[in-house]
Chain A
Amino acid sequence: MMLSLGLIVLPIALLAQRTDSQSAAAYPDAWPAHYGDHSGRRYSPLAQINATNVKTLSLAWIHRATAQEGDNVGGEYKAGDPYYWGGPQSTVTIKATPLMVNGVLYFAAPDHAYAIDARTGRAIWHYFWRTRGGIHIGNRGVGMYGNMLFFETPDCYLVSLDAATGKERWHKEIADVRQQYFCTPAPIIIGRHVIVGIGGDSLDVQGYLEAYEPETGERQWRWYTTPQKKGESGSETWPDEYSMTHGGGMTWLPPTYDAELNLLYIATGNPNPVFAPQSRQGDNLYTCALVALNPDTGKMAWYFQTSPHDTHDWDSAQVPVLIDGQIDGRPRKLVAQAARNGYYFLIDRTNGQSITTVPYVDFMNWSLGVNAKGQPINNPAKDAAVDGVLVSPGSATNWPPPSFSPKTGLLYVGTSQSYSLQYLTDTDERPEGYGGGNVIPGGGGREGYIKALDYRTGKVRWRHALSEGGAMGLLTTAGDLLFGGDGSGNFVAYNPSTGDPIWHAGLAANPSNAPITFMLDGRQFVVVGAGDSLYAFTLAR
């Protein structure tokens, strides 16, 4: 008994010593990194829960996260200070992907970090951050290195906690909330680098990605998503220095990483001003792009812009999924992205060369096609206009992560064939902020699906219609299961080969994060967040 316990616990205990890129993929029983490993595939080799027995999948526990002040409190807010662009929230919505290491689940929400017992769902500790402000739209989770945790706050501090106690180790300001930055990403740990992104596209600030030393919190490098001076690479795609240094390109989606190539893949956000491009003619590099960076130096290895001169708030903040596949019979290192602009991109991740660019939505009117580099060509007739233009897709997908199963060769994505009327509201020669916006349907015109794309061609192999919703977090397993939602409050296991639902559980809210899976004491668990609660399922015994 002791021996078997030791065998189970030992690797995870080792893992806790070094929860970084090299160890993440080596411990499939845990969920030690944001995407499980750093590939972005969100595929688990666990198969105890499988297509044969999933109908006996049963509730193990529910944990309801509190929005009250926790055991440990931090923050830079001082009594009497104003709140900048947002304030404390009275409720919690769990959008974070939890980590599961050594029997403990670690997750976060805006201003909160939590540790709970993964076996029972009982609270271990709770850390509360007194905010100075920032948009409290969500938090994608924590990063872990050894016994150190890292998470970001809406007012843009990087906070490091002791994983055992939830006590604060240090915090650093990573962006200025007063300039309307707000921070949602989960830090990603690569070697001795805590990789940290930022958000905030309301006031034409500039995007960057940073790395911090985990022990000391010292900043190691910063990579700006736009050039800083004329003459720098990419500056030829902006009219002037003023536009490029106010050009946006946020880094609000956690990157993926290839340890062999030692390249980090970051998908950058939309340029600013968002819908009013008259002051930023050009392609606006490196916004709306997939960029490969060296995590030790922050230097760019290559880029591929998925929406040159974006005028529709496409962002490109969708997961760059690393696939080791076969193209024309040859093994290739690939990166795939189902983007919000409705295109599926398949790229050689060693050099950024396009292999396939193809729409995965049924109808698209904002693009004139694809150029020789595999990039979409913006249709200027569909740029936001004072009298309105009808644009489709309105938003083909968003940050909720897709999943790729090497067993089926399919990339699964929650998507919406949506439309929006886009209006230009700021006709000034120097527009500010969004400068326009969407009017979106309250009724028809936003049909949602889970689609399964052949990773080589982007062709839709199957689709499953959703009664509501579209973008959703997905998980595939070696048990021939695809876990996701249905937009109507159900957590569902689908057949990954056909899209047929084969198990479901009705939750108190729609799944609001991406599900994870892990093994503890010989039992596989699947955990999903919905509203303010985490739900854990395991096979009935």
Chain B
Amino acid sequence: MLRSGLVCPAIICLAAASVAAQAPQGGRGRGLDPGVERLRAFDPAAVERGRAAFGEKCSACHRANARGGEGFTGPDLIRSVLVLQDANGQQISTHLQAAHKPTIALTPPDTSDIGTFLHREITYAAERTNYQLQFAMTGSAKAGETYFNGAGGCSRCHSATGDFKGIGSRHDGPTLQALIAFGTMGGGRGRGEPGGGSRTARRATVTLPSGETFTGVLVRLTDFDVTIRDDVGTPRSWLRSGNVPKVEVTDPLQGHIDLLAKYKDSDIHDLAAYLATLK
């Protein structure tokens, strides 16, 4: 089946091309992913017409997904240099009308739609931030419940009848797995996060040489300075030298971090299956 979804679930977005392959050094802001824009630029109706026309006229040789392969005489059109070098369907149209062997009877609108369909498929393959997960739950809810209340220690912070009530209705499987593993997914994307944890929700207690202490949300901690926002919202910062002033950090995600090197994949799958039952 061809993939038709344009975007992945709201929180689960595959790491950006840049992160995966040639990671940026230092911070990097991201607006709307240009790949999303490129995919959205395709007229969905034209893509579907093209898919249908391709299925009728071309798939016997090129396969319905245009990739060719074993048992098909036509080449892979997703990797076709002719198609990749095409601009606005013009080269594809010229080729189909004049050079394609065997000759093929296509109306100009069909040709245009097929070009749109092929470019959309190529764009989908190239824009990995938009891949649609084919996730299927494979874990055991019962084993997940046991892990939740036992070896995982999840119940120390979370409750099936408290903060996790209805969590299975709020999130799909991949989102649940990300929340299980990391406690948060790229915080600030606008979805509720169980456990209320994000990297910026770490808390810190700063103890000055005088013994005076200040506690609040940790904003920034380096070798040279520390900033917290106290409980009335006032930012406070101090310069640091060595371990002066002393800074003690508590991370609500520590339980998640501690499990990362211990998980079997089946633990995560089981936990997701269990949480999915909490409707």
Contact = CB atoms under 8 A, between A and B. Distances in A.
A95 B186 CA distance: 24
Given A82-B88, A439-B185, A442-B186, A93 B131 contact: no
Contacts of A419: 181-182, 260
B126 A387 contact: no
B269 interface: yes
A486 B126 contact: no
Nearest to A204: B79
A509 B27 CA distance: 7
Given A93-B24, A203-B125, A203-B126, A427 B260 contact: no
Contacts of B220: 467, 488
A444 B68 contact: no
Interface string A422-445: 011111111011101111111111
Interface stretch (A122-130, A209-217, A510-518): A510-518
B187 A388 contact: no
A440 B199 contact: no
Interface residues of A, number: 87
Question: Most chain-B Cβ atoms within 10 A of its Cβ — which of A399, A469, A473, A488?
Answer: A488
A421 interface: yes
B60 to A, nearest CB: 17
B133 A423 contact: yes
Given A509-B26, A513-B25, A444 B20 contact: no
B104 interface: no
Contact of A95 (B25, B67, B129, B197): B25
Interface in B39-73: 65, 67-70
A424 B132 CA distance: 10
Nearest to A400: B25
B21 interface: yes
Contacts of B235: none
Q: Please report whether the interface of chain B is mostly helix, strand, loop or mixed according to DSSP.
A: loop
Contacts of B174: 388, 421, 423, 439
Given A178-B84, A434-B131, A439 B18 contact: no
User: Secondary structure of the A side of the interface?
Assistant: loop
Give the one of A81, A135, A472 with max B CB within 10 A.
A135
Contacts of A451: none
B141 interface: no
Nearest to A395: B23
B136 A444 contact: no
B155 to A, nearest CB: 19
Contacts of B170: none
Contacts of B198: 442-443
B201 to A, nearest CB: 8
A421 B70 contact: no
Interface residues on B, range: 35 or more
A335 interface: no
B178 interface: yes
Give the most central of B178, B187, B220, B224: most A CB within 10 Å: B224
Interface string B224-245: 1000000000000000000000
A176 interface: yes
B15 interface: yes
A430 B68 CA distance: 8
A201 B253 contact: no
A471 B182 contact: no
Contact of B22 (A85, A252, A441): A252
B134 interface: yes
A81 B87 CA distance: 8
B76 interface: yes
Interface of A: 81-82, 85-86, 93, 95, 135, 137-138, 176, 178-180, 184, 199, 201-204, 242, 246, 252, 269-270, 274, 313, 315, 317, 363, 365, 381, 385-390, 392, 395, 398-400, 419-421, 423-430, 432-434, 436-445, 467, 469, 471-473, 485-488, 490, 492, 501, 504, 506, 509-513, 530-531
18 contacts: A202-B17, A202-B128, A203-B126, A269-B21, A387-B138, A388-B268, A390-B268, A395-B23, A398-B25, A443-B198, A443-B256, A444-B253, A444-B257, A467-B220, A488-B222, A492-B223, A501-B224, A506-B224
